[in-house]
Amino acid sequence: MWELRSPSFWRAVFAEFFGTVFYVFFGLGASLRWAAGPLNVLHVALAFGLALATLVQALGHVSGAHVNPAVTFAFLLGSQLSLLRALFYMTAQVLGAVAGAGPPPNPSVCLSVRPPHQQMHPSLSLGQATTVEIFLTLQFVLCIFATYDERRNGRMGSVALAVGLSLTLGHLFGMYYTGAGMNPARSFAPAILTRTFTNHWVYWVGPVIGGAVGGLLYDFILFPRPRGMAERLAILKGEKPAEADSPPEPPGEPLELKTQAL
């Protein structure tokens, strides 16, 4: 339980709450239709993608900028963070999403009170909708694992931009089918505020399965991590690393901050 006494742990938890607040605030705000006519899908997709890219750049070195329970669950399955940290992250993300969604707008002013990303196309069955959410989140988490991987030497391009574009891609495709949930916390926030939970489980089951498959595919097949069972269990239990007990090193050359999952 040493993490609970660590200031960096609480900074990371707060970063997940703070990041999810702004992610949902800007994303759902862009999803509301204030004028007559069809919703601009590109406008909404770019809003979500740019919001996440900004948060990865600003908070990636603090918490990993998951802002998504499906992403956190994928990192937990890959033994890249402790169970305690994962539980606190997910709680902070759900609370942050509800805070970011805020009260629904006045129906007399806004033409679309219910954000369109929650609506499934009427021609889709629940199984098909879940499958769409699985594939959308799979490609998204796969991109996160690949770009966050500290083992990649000489990474090309921007991590934040890559993650943001991956989310944008998911929205450009998925909004026509399921509204592109890809994030249980983001889907939960408007659902609880509008008291609309019809088929809501699709937006939890699909992203969680997709995130888990994407993370396991990368960590165990595409680019396996050479970790033994004992090391993985130590990470999951949150055992204090040996370097945490060593005395601080004298100041030297400044270290470059890297965006990575904790």
* 232 assigned to some structural domain: yes
CA angle 104, 110, 112 (to 5 degrees): 80
Q: What is the pLDDT of residue 109?
A: 47
Q: What is the pLDDT of residue 165?
A: 97
* 179 assigned to some structural domain: yes
Number of domains in the chain: 1
Q: Are 211 and 236 in contact (CB under 8 A)?
A: no
Token pair, residue 149, equals: 């991987």
Q: What is the pLDDT of residue 255?
A: 40
What's the whole-number mean pLDDT along residues 6-34? Answer: 92
Unique residue bearing structure tokens 């090193």: 249
Question: Where residue 77 sits, what CATH number does that domain have?
Answer: 1.20.1080.10
Residue 228 identity: G
What's the whole-number mean pLDDT along residues 139-154? Answer: 91
pLDDT tens readout for residues 106-123: 544 444 444 454 678 889
- Residue-number span of the structural domain to which 75 is assigned: 2-104+115-238
Q: From CA 95, how far away is CA 82, in angstroms rounded? A: 20
227 has pLDDT over 70: yes
* 195 assigned to some structural domain: yes
* 71 assigned to some structural domain: yes
Q: What is the pLDDT of residue 140?
A: 98
Total length of the chain: 262
Q: What is the pLDDT of residue 29?
A: 86
Residue 178 identity: T
* 183 assigned to some structural domain: yes
Residue 221 identity: I
Token pair, residue 9, equals: 């742990």
pLDDT tens readout for residues 188-217: 998 888 888 989 999 999 999 999 999 999
What's the whole-number mean pLDDT along residues 88-101? Answer: 96
